[in-house]
Structure 1
Amino acid sequence: MAGADGRGPGRDERSGRGRRPARRLGGRVRAAGPDRPGTRTVPEPAGTTRGRLRRLNLVMFLPLLTVVGLLLVAMDARTWWQALVLGLGVAAALVFFVRWAARDTSRVAIPCLAVTAAVWALGALVMGTGTAFYGILIVGSLAVPRLPRHRGLAVIGLVFYVAAVGAARLLVTREDVPGVLIAYVILPAGVTAVVIGLMFPNQRFYGLVAELEEAREREAELAVVRERMRFASDLHDIQGHTLHVVKLKIALARKLVHSDAERVEQELREVHALVGDTIARTKELAYAQRRLNLSAELENAKNLFEAAGIRVRVDREAEVDPHVGELLGQVLRETTTNILRHAQAGQVRITLTGTGITIVNDGAREAPPPELRGLATLGERVAGNGGELTVEQKDGRFLTAAAFPHGRSGAAL
């Protein structure tokens, strides 16, 4: 079986980590790995590759398994109670398959295995039907590869049980020995061994998918870290130089305080002006109000997405009005950071027009979006400059769009 939104750096995320599907580091929830007795594995979110693959398995194979099971019951059952027994084995197999697709087999593994094993014993020894192993074939082939240990012994034990029950048929019937061995021993045990063997590569395939998704998540986290480092570098550039100059001027003022009062007053005025300018620039930095180059932000966003394994498509329908380019760049930066932190995006499409920008990603979660304070602040600024900011989540997609119908952005400049 085959195997968003944007927030400014360091403001809207309470944790230093990006939010990830279900597999996280540090001893927290892990969505990958085999089920373990006594534990419940958390299903993958709808947007993950593993989740989509398992839903595809469910859609493709559940109807097929159901039809095959019903056909076997219809062909082999000669009385109503035989149909009931064989149907119970098929039902247990289907229940286990559904829970396997949801990655939550720990609670149903033992009951389903017990039911299907009993159905095979009744089918072989009482009802005389060699296809009653269908249920234990499905349950065993799905359960054994996901055991945390002793999988080889489990395979041997399951195949031995199927063969032993089939061989016990010789004790209750006078049918020809070769026919019984073929129909009740060789065929059931052989099919069981082959199917289980095929499921081990399938399980490994899901393991590789899990590793690839974790690598992508780490790349996204690194991209966010790089963005934060750039923010910290900008903050250092603003305040580091200022504090150094202030320190020198105050030291100079202390030396001249008794000999040149006029020079001291001049130095203090310059310190006051320098501190005021630094406060203003720091505030602009904290609220993402610095002048941004839209082309540079577009290239930076493209590099960040590609580093996180997200496909990017950029459509430039027209040259952007320079009067609105700065605010559009801020919207792009906010949205880029948030997609990396919170979305499960596989593709992002950025569309630029003369007076607007639209960013759409396909990683929107089923739940309502979190509070978007970064975009809310930008929305107020965009509205104050004659524009409109649209944030919309629909059909698994998250859209952020800013438009300035009249192409002006006075307050932003």
Structure 2
Amino acid sequence: MSCQQEAQLCAQELAGQLYDEQIHWVLFFCSAQQDIQLLADHLQLCLPDKVIVGCSTAGEITPLGYRQGSVSAVGFSREGFSIETALIENLDQFDFNSAQHLMSRMLECCQHQQKAPVKGHTFALALLDGMSEHEEVVLNTLSAAFGSIPLLGGSAGDDLDFTHTKVVYQGKTYQNAAVLLMVNTAFPFMVFSQKHVLETDEVFVATEVDSEHRRVYELNAEPAAEVYARAIGVPLSELTPAIFAQHTLSVRIAGEGFVRAVQSVNEDGSLSFYCAVERGIVLRKNKHLDIPNELQRLLDQVNQELGEQQLILGFDCIFRHLELKAKHQLGQVSDLIAQSPMIGFNTYGEHINGIHLNATFTGVAIGY
């Protein structure tokens, strides 16, 4: 990791920590306070023989715990991994044929260089532009094409500015795009996705919706923001990201609850969401559990299943960060992170097997 604010110094510090002849792939997560294109340029200059991919963040997970304004990174060696990478541009035009062609090409390359049989020893990582509004369709399409290969990842952030989220592929930044990695390894790994909410019986029906822009105008045939504020006991004027983080909603898909977090309240009384919303969906009010306890439980489960880990790659919703901050628990969780071999970032949405999530800690742990 590096906290250097000047792009060249930051790249040099990261390159010094990552330089190893065996390392061939570098994955980095860059604060929106940095000029990510300038950083990518310098990283490529410092590490000219490496494949470098990454994205902008809403906060970083580093060896020192949570950080803002930093860059975290991880290198993968040829000795332990075979990784195929790809760039998907124009997410709004991505379809199943494109996904099948992409998967076939990546799989063929992976099989030539595989460290272990593809089945059971391969997972896919996706980094998507978090402002594209196309995550659901792209992830569903990729998941269908990749079949039994686990697919996980996160949506790029920009420190809650909601203006420019970017992904990086081989030294260049892109918007309305995704970076994909197919990772094959003989090391044992565990893919996980943990939420810290329980659904209640208090429900709201989305009766007027702009699904293309993830905007709900009415809940139960009343102005959406008014209904939401009344339900959580907060004045309409006090609805902020910190409040949204502590009062999430869920939707049931195939009997399982998935969080649908509010992104913002709009001047017309509508609510914008991070994930897909459609007319007629039933949203449930959530009860939030204690994040530090839930994270410790997950880490204990990882230890039990894998033993010692060399890496936990984590995609942690920015709403969890905001909730921890509001509840004065940020330092406690940051310390837990620092005690683990964890790298990652705070996202605008997490991905697991074709589903776009909010308010989860999703990732993959890799053992020895």
Same fold (TM over 0.5): no
TM-score range, shorter chain: under 0.3
TM-score, normalised to structure 2's length? Answer: 0.22
Whose helix proportion is higher, 1 or 2? 1
Structure index of larger Rg: 1
Whose strand proportion is higher, 1 or 2? 2
